[in-house]
Every structure is written in C-alpha cells, then in structure tokens.
Amino acid sequence: MNDVAPQRIAITGLGVVSACGIGIANFEASLNQGRSGIGPIDLFPGEVPPGHIGGQCHDFNDESIKKNYLKAQRKSIKVMCRDIQLGVAAAAMALEHSELKLNETERARLGVEFGADLMLSNPDVLSPAAFASRDETGIPTDTNWGNRGLPQMEPLWLLKYLPNMPACHISIHADARGPSNSLTLEEASGNQTIGESLRIIRRGQADAMIAGTTGTRLHIVKSINYTNLHELASPDSLAPEKVLKPFDKHRAGEVVGEGSGALILEKPDLALARNARIYGWVCGIGSSCVRNRHQQGNARQALVNAIHAALRSAQIEPIQIGHINANGCGSRKLDAEEAAAILEVFGDYGREVPVTSLKPHFGNCGSGAGTIELIGSIVGLKNGLIYPTLNYETPDPECPLNVVHGAALKTDRKLFLNVNVTRNGQASALVVEAN
C-alpha cells in the first residue's frame, strides 16, 4: 500500500427512476417496506419475457414524462427513445437533489460520464421503410432502399437510438462544458462511469461530474433476445414479485427490467466550500474483462481481478468492507461464479461479510442496474441499514455467502463494495463509503 491516501470524491446528489420508485424518497420507501416493482408489463404486447413480467416503471409514462420528469426537455422528447428519457430524468433529479449552482467559469469544470446499453428501435419504426423497398417477390432489397425505403424513415431516427445521446442531452440540460463520455458495458457500466469520474477528478480535468447509467431490457426485440440468450425465470405458479431469487438454491433465472440512476460527484473542497450535503465518498474503482479464445466470458476471474483492483485503488484491505452489494441476478451460473469470486478474494471473511442483491426490487435493467443498486446501499446506510435480498429463502451450497434476507440488517459499518458483471466476462467493482 502507498503511504499517501488517494483522493476521494464526494457524492452530493442522487437521482433514480426505477420500477419500485421514481425519485429518492419513493425509492427509499419501497426499499424500507420491502416492496418490489416487478409485475405484469404493458410496454408492448406478446408473451415475452416469460409470463410477460418485468420491472417496468409504470409511473414513467407519456403524461408524467411531459408534465413532470422531462418538462424542461419537452421539445427534445421526440428525439429520445425510452432509454434516453430514463437517463435524462434521473440526471435532472440528481442535479436538483445536489443543489449545485455553478457560474459561467465553473460550468467549464463540470463533466458528464454516462453509460447506456445499445438501443434498438421497435419493428413498427422500420417496417414502413422495409415494406416500401420490397421487390416483386416481396423481399426488401438495397437497390430499392434509396428511392423507396429511405423517404419513409423518420429524419431524426438515428438520434433517438445512439447510446451517447443520454450524455449529450444531460450536458445540454446542465450546461456542462467539461469532459463528456459514454460507456456501453451492460451491467458493468454503472461502477465504470462513477470510477471514470473519480479518475477524471483525480487528474484535475474536472471539479464535478454527473455520472450514471440508463438501460431497459423491456423492449419487444430485446426481450425476445434475452429470452433466447439468457436464463430468464418463468413465474409458473409464483406471484411476479416472488420470481427473482438471487443466490437461492431454487433460483431459476433472471427477470428483466428498466431504470436509471445518476449521481453528482464533486471534489471535496468544492462540496465543503458550498456546504453541500455529502451522501458518501467514492474511494476506489476496479474493472476487468476475461474471455477465453472461444470468446466465452469468465465471470469469476473477471470479478476477482476487478475486486482486487478496487481494493488497491481505495488502499484498503478486504476485512474493511462492511457489506457487498452484489450483481446477484438470479442466474444459476453467474450467481455461483460471483460467490466463488467473493470467497477467493475475501477468504474466510467471504462467508461472513453481509451480501445483498437489490435486483428483486426492480429487475435487471442492464446498464441501469449497477447505479440503482449503489444508490440503494447509500440510502440504506444513511439509516444504518443493509437492505435484504427479497425472496431468498434456501441457502445454496454453490453460493455459501452470508446473504442478508428477511429483514434489513443493522450496521454501523459504512464502507461497502458495489459489484457487477456481465455474461460476457466484463466486471466492475467500486468501493464507496456512505455518510
């Protein structure tokens, strides 16, 4: 370990849009009450995902978006798909929550680091152009595309689905003129955007950052893809909110969702000078991607590498971690690999350190999940609580962890680890100290 402690950065604002609550107050109330937002979905018709359930933000609808959540961006809504809308709304909430006011010079030192999934348009958006470019056999062709298909496209179609657009809209809204970047690392994006913000501020390139992620897997095309590619749980005889069981012996797969989380991050002297309320401190970041020559992800090794790197970055030992907010997605394979990684890094303490997963509250939102989970730990520790993993009942010998379940666990330990990983072997880990 180095003798000089690394710079921490202050968390001064929080914003969240999730299936179990929009805004910090509603989100915290759901966590305190153990209320899940997973249930029937109506974003699109059909029978996917299994049981047609997921973590849908039902209160984030056309009316509330225009009148409340994106009122200031109303003219730009037409060039925002749902992923973008979720992200911009969460960032606007975080800015308001932080009460950050900057002058002309200071806005040049405010940056944006935002993550998103790859965004897809719905079939009905592209179908008129595809139909118009069909040949005599009824098959769309590139030779007919230019003069027949292209005129049927929305002129601003591409701007609605670019993963860098959340950061663009947020920068415009906040008049942020500092560094701006976008990441597309699925579940690993949340910790990475905050970790990169930490590095940017440590390098002296910005004094404050708007960091976060947005994602939705409740999409007619994505839900079909994840039904085919992922291990999605089917409700069968269970109520929708009981389906997702991270680390449980009887877990049967993931449940998809949508959501976004955002944080305002500041240099300590800026936050203290303006007497800002500080909700926590970002202390260290680690990331790793491990794949074999067949392009198959090794989640366990990627997590081991990322956690070790985060602990080094924060200059702390594993025993100092008070709890782990795990990826815990409900997959039989990924949950077991995550448990093995925790035990490898933490040794005997790996069976003692409290572990929780908050995804049963809102589903797997892809890029959006990690930031929402991080915010969940921060608001819990504010009241000395580690929120439990809903639906965990039967320990699994493959996941011999101290999973917080039943009721929230009281604690006075504020340092925690936020962990996320993808099925492709991309992992990220963040060390945070709550106030």
Q: What is the mean pLDDT of residues 330-358?
A: 98
Percent of the chain with pLDDT over 90: 91
pLDDT value for 46:
84
pLDDT in tens, 70-85: 999 999 999 999 999 9
3-state secondary structure of 405: coil
pLDDT value for 155:
86
Tell me how far apart the terminal alpha carbons of the chain are, to the nearest angstrom. Answer: 24
pTM score, two decimals?
0.95
pLDDT value for 160:
95
Other C-beta atoms closer than 10 Å to the C-beta of 296 total: 11
Q: Report the run of H or E that residue 182 belongs to, with start and end.
A: strand 180-183
pLDDT value for 384:
98
Mean pLDDT, all residues of the chain: 95
Q: Report the run of H or E that residue 264 belongs to, with start and end.
A: strand 258-266
Where does the pLDDT of residue 2 fall: very low under 50, low under 70, confident under 90, or very high at 90 and above?
A: very low
Where residue 259 falls (left for φ over 0; alpha for ψ -120 to 50; beta otherwise) is: left
CB 17 within 8 A of CB 85: no
Is the model's pLDDT at 117 over the cut of 60? yes
Where does the pLDDT of residue 47 fall: very low under 50, low under 70, confident under 90, or very high at 90 and above?
A: confident
Is the model's pLDDT at 427 over the cut of 70? yes
Domain range annotation of the chain: 9-120+161-434, 123-158
pLDDT in tens, 168-210: 999 999 999 999 999 999 999 999 999 999 999 999 999 999 9
Where does the pLDDT of residue 5 fall: very low under 50, low under 70, confident under 90, or very high at 90 and above?
A: low
Measured CA to CA, the distance from residue 250 to residue 429 in angstroms comes to 27
Bridge pairing between strands 415-421 and 21-22: unpaired
Q: What is the mean pLDDT of residues 148-171?
A: 94
Residue type for position 218: L
Is the model's pLDDT at 322 over the cut of 90? yes
Distances (CA, A) of 275 to 128, 267, 268, 272, 280: 55, 12, 10, 5, 14
Is the model's pLDDT at 4 over the cut of 70? no
Q: Looking at domain 9-120+161-434, does it have CATH number 3.30.565.10?
A: no
Residue type for position 38: I
Q: What is the mean pLDDT of residues 379-390?
A: 98
Q: What is the mean pLDDT of residues 6-15?
A: 94
pLDDT value for 3:
45
pLDDT in tens, 396-412: 999 999 999 999 999 99
pLDDT in tens, 103-112: 887 899 999 9
Is the model's pLDDT at 372 over the cut of 60? yes
Q: What is the mean pLDDT of residues 45-67?
A: 94
Residue 193 tokens read as 């955007």
Where does the pLDDT of residue 394 fall: very low under 50, low under 70, confident under 90, or very high at 90 and above?
A: very high
pLDDT in tens, 213-230: 999 999 999 999 888 877
Residue type for position 430: L
Residue 377 tokens read as 């730990």
Q: What is the mean pLDDT of residues 346-356?
A: 98
pLDDT value for 268:
96
3-state secondary structure of 418: strand
Q: What is the mean pLDDT of residues 151-178?
A: 94
Chain mean position to CA 311: 21
pLDDT value for 1:
39
Which residues are CB-contacts of 127 (< 8 A; sequence separation ≥ 6)? none
